[in-house]
């Protein structure tokens, strides 16, 4: 819960026009301070939650939600997991404020000790926890190769042995040095090899995971309404 001092500071900032807030979240078209933070709130939120539960997530597990946004999936995970087992990181302070001040209270989840941290360097050590599961839903779709590499290096450090990291991506099924945009079905999203939103050949992730001590497996279609594919990185148990 934010302190009275924090709330007062934000109120003053809003009055002074330093922070613009539009608390109209968890709707079909979701905006915060004029920014679209992801439509299909219910559909994509439930999709990621149901997927992880189907793939073994239990209330006792610790979950790292990378690029958690304003908790489109997070509200489902926080409700399901034991208190204190949800950890979300995002680079956008405004979205995290929306999560803390609007979504968690709206869903009656303020007392479940969700940990939310603003960072953009994927340094998950700040949480002081090891994770059974991690998720990056609709995050690698916005990241260049170098940032994905940074993320994977840190995921490898943060996962428990046998831990699993699920990540979505727009797939370039053609490969090679194709530089033309691609359009993905369903949803019709246009993606690029060198600007956001990005597409990648799966082989890029195989090559990256070989650099860290992770294994990656292609899952592919998982019912995403905008045509994003799924893959899973695992940290093999050793010794
Ligand atoms: C399309 S949103 C998806 C949010 C959430 N996973 C969901 O399904 O609603 C992508 C999120 O990734 C976050 N993000 C992008 N780059 C990041 C970085 N380097 N570190 C942390 N978060 C990042 C953005 O701020 C944004 O909230």
| Cα 239 to ligand 1 centre (Å) | 35
- Give, as one character, the DSSP assignment of residue 102: I
Residue 38: φ, ψ to 5°:
120, 115
SS3 97: helix
The pair of three-digit structure tokens given for residue 238, joined into one six-digit string: 């050793």
What is the H or E stretch that residue 203 is in? helix 202-211
Residues 230 and 224: their CA atoms lie apart, in Å, by 9
User: ω into residue 186 within 30 of 0, thus cis?
Assistant: yes
Cα-Cα end-to-end distance for the chain: 42
| Cα 174 to ligand 1 centre (Å) | 27
Minimum mean pLDDT range among 91-95, 120-124, 128-132: 91-95
CB of 142 sitting under 6 A from ligand 1: yes
Q: Are 155 and 134 in contact (CB under 8 A)?
A: yes
Q: How many CA atoms lie within 13 A of 129 on its CB side?
A: 18
The pair of three-digit structure tokens given for residue 213, joined into one six-digit string: 């001590």
For 89-100, how does the pLDDT look when each residue is reduced to its tens digit (9 = 90+)?
A: 999 998 999 999
CB of 92 sitting under 6 A from ligand 1: yes
Angle at 172 between CA 171 and CA 175, to 5 degrees: 145
**pTM, rounded to two decimals:** 0.88
Residue 28 has pLDDT above 90, yes or no: no
CATH 3.40.50.150 fits 39-234, yes or no: yes
Q: Are 124 and 157 in contact (CB under 8 A)?
A: yes
pLDDT attached to residue 230: 98
For 32-89, how does the pLDDT look when each residue is reduced to its tens digit (9 = 90+)?
A: 443 545 678 999 999 999 999 999 999 999 999 999 999 999 999 999 999 999 999 9
Domain residue spans in the chain? Answer: 39-234
Ligand 1 atom having least distance to the Cα of 120:
20
Q: Are 107 and 79 in contact (CB under 8 A)?
A: yes
| Cα 155 to ligand 1 centre (Å) | 15
Q: Are 64 and 136 in contact (CB under 8 A)?
A: no
What is the H or E stretch that residue 163 is in? strand 159-171
Ligand 1 atom having least distance to the Cα of 70:
9
CB of 71 sitting under 6 A from ligand 1: no
């Amino acid at each position: 819960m934010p302190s009275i001092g924090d709330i007062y500071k934000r109120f003053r900032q809003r009055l002074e026009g330093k922070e613009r807030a539009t608390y109209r979240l968890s709707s079909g078209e979701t905006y915060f301070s004029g920014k679209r933070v992801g439509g299909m709130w219910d559909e994509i939120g439930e999709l990621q939650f149901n997927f992880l539960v189907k793939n073994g997530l239990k209330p006792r597990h610790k979950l790292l939600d990378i690029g958690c946004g304003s908790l489109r999936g997070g509200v489902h995970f926080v409700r399901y997991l034991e208190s204190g087992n949800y950890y979300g990181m995002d680079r956008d302070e405004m979205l995290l404020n929306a999560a803390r001040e609007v979504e968690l209270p709206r869903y009656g989840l303020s007392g479940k000790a969700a940990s939310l941290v603003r960072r953009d360097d994927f340094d998950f050590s700040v949480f002081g926890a090891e994770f059974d599961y991690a998720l990056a839903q609709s995050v690698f779709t916005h990241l260049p190769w170098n940032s994905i590499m940074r993320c994977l290096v840190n995921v490898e450090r943060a996962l428990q042995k046998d831990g699993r990291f699920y990540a979505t991506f727009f797939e370039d099924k053609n490969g090679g040095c194709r530089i033309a945009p691609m359009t993905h079905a369903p949803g019709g999203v246009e993606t690029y090899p060198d600007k956001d939103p990005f597409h990648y050949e799966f082989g890029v992730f195989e090559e990256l995971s070989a650099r860290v001590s992770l294994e990656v497996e292609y899952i592919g279609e998982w019912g995403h309404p905008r045509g994003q594919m799924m893959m899973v990185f695992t940290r093999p148990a050793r010794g």
